[in-house]
Amino acid sequence: MRSVSLTPMRTPGKLAAAVLSALCVVSVASCSSDGDPAPEQTQLSPAQRLAAAKAKVDAAPSVHLKLTGSNLPEGASGVVSADGWGKHPPAFKGTFKVSLKGIQADAEITSLDGQVYAKLPLIPGTNPIDPEQYGLPDPAVLFSPDKGLTTLLTATSSPTAGGQVRQGSEVLTTIKGTVPGKAVTDLFLIGDSSGSFTATYGLTDSQELRQVAIAGPFFGAGSASTYTLTLDQYGQPVTITKP
């Protein structure tokens, strides 16, 4: 009688595992566990993550910005804080707290189509101004892809990945580096252009820029102040019109 060799049939569980394994070979990224970062994220260098963050800000229709200054010299003139919305094409509306020789005041600022308007204390109405006369940059320029805040990300030299920090419900990865003084002073119109500034960026896992902290000689050589910017609410509906 002829002997017959029988090959054991795979159980449904083993068959499913084989199919899943094959799918993982085809698309490794899709098989990352829920708690692990996707391979493409972990493979990005700090410089690549900063470039990706710049692209996200530049592509956002709008973004909310909050700025705070710390260690500002007593009696100095400059921006103390700000809170407002930026849009692309570059436009801005919000409130700046400025210090003029130590005296602080709030100014409601709108910048649109290359013109800056301000509602200033003790001056009736909202009027066109030259922001440089008040030691201020045109806030709309902060949102210019070619001249604005995001140019600091790609101007940062020797960026290195730091630790993780929690901000609200999010966990951010920090990236640190050095920014040339001229890049900072060209943007903010204050600081020692021959000095250097340290920058610490906070990025989400999706490369969304959430925080920028810039420290250095904002008020001349030998000074050490810090400005921290928080960016959030990307793409929210915002209308900015001439006052």
Element (H, E) at 14: helix 12-26
How much is the pLDDT for 98? 87
Q: Which domains does the chain have, with CATH numbers?
A: 44-232 (2.50.20.20)
- Among residues 57, 79, 84, which one has the least CA distance to residue 68? 79
CA separation for the pair 194, 181 (Å, rounded):
6
Q: Block means of pLDDT (10 residues each) for the chain, length 243 residues? A: 43 38 32 41 86 97 96 89 95 92 89 94 90 85 94 96 91 97 93 96 97 95 94 96 93
Q: How far apart are CA 114 and CA 124, in angstroms?
A: 22
pLDDT at 32: 35
Cα–Cα distance between 187 and 182 in angstroms, integer?
A: 8
pTM for this predicted structure: 0.80
Nearest to 80, CA basis, from 59, 102, 111, 109: 102
pLDDT of residue 33: 36
d(CA 18, CA 27): 14
Cα–Cα nearest to 96, from 109, 87, 86: 109
Q: How far apart are the first and last CA of the chain?
A: 100
Strand ranges across the sheet with 196-203: 127-129, 115-119, 103-112, 91-100, 78-87, 62-70, 225-232, 209-216, 196-203, 170-180, 157-167
Q: Looking at residue 199, what is its pLDDT? A: 98
The predicted structure's pLDDT at residue 168: 85
Nearest-angstrom CA–CA distance, 146 and 155: 12
